[in-house]
Amino acid sequence: MSSKDPVVTDPRLYKVVFENERVRVLEYRDEPGDRTHPHRHPDSVMITFSAFQRRVSDGDRSVEVSLPAGAVRWVGAQEHSGHNVGDTVTHGFFVELKEPAGEPVTGAVLGPQS
């Protein structure tokens, strides 16, 4: 595990619930006001179990993200920190791919810099 692994940077919020040679599945839970330290995700699929509102930041860039429960989103490889800016808990799962990254895919939560 690297020092930018979310399980290392924020072990209270992220936990590994499944892993094999091709994927790792992380469960994420936080409370309103919680923040994560800067961390890195490989290409992943995010599944939300609760509706949430958060600010995702990478350096000087930040994006407000609001998703309903039951959303499934592609999250391209990225480094960021997050802040629960809503009034509800966040509960979701990340299915992280271990295969080498292919061509960039659109639809990332925090997309490529323009």
pTM for this model (two decimals): 0.84
Domain assignment present for 62: yes
Domain assignment present for 48: yes
Radius of gyration of the chain (CA): 13
pLDDT at 2: 75
Domain assignment present for 104: no
Domain with 45 in it: what CATH number?
2.60.120.10
Number of domains in the chain: 1
Q: Tens digit of pLDDT per residue, the chain (114 long)?
A: 678 999 999 999 999 999 999 999 999 999 999 999 999 999 999 999 999 999 999 989 999 999 999 999 999 999 999 999 999 999 999 999 998 766 555 555 554 443
Domain assignment present for 77: yes
Q: Answer yes or no: are the C-beta atoms of 99 and 58 closer than 8 Å.
A: no
Which structural domain range is residue 54 located in? 6-97
Residue 8: strand, helix, or coil: helix
Which token pair is 67?
Answer: 């998703």
Domain assignment present for 1: no
Domain assignment present for 113: no
3-state helix, strand, coil in the chain (%, to 5): 5, 50, 45
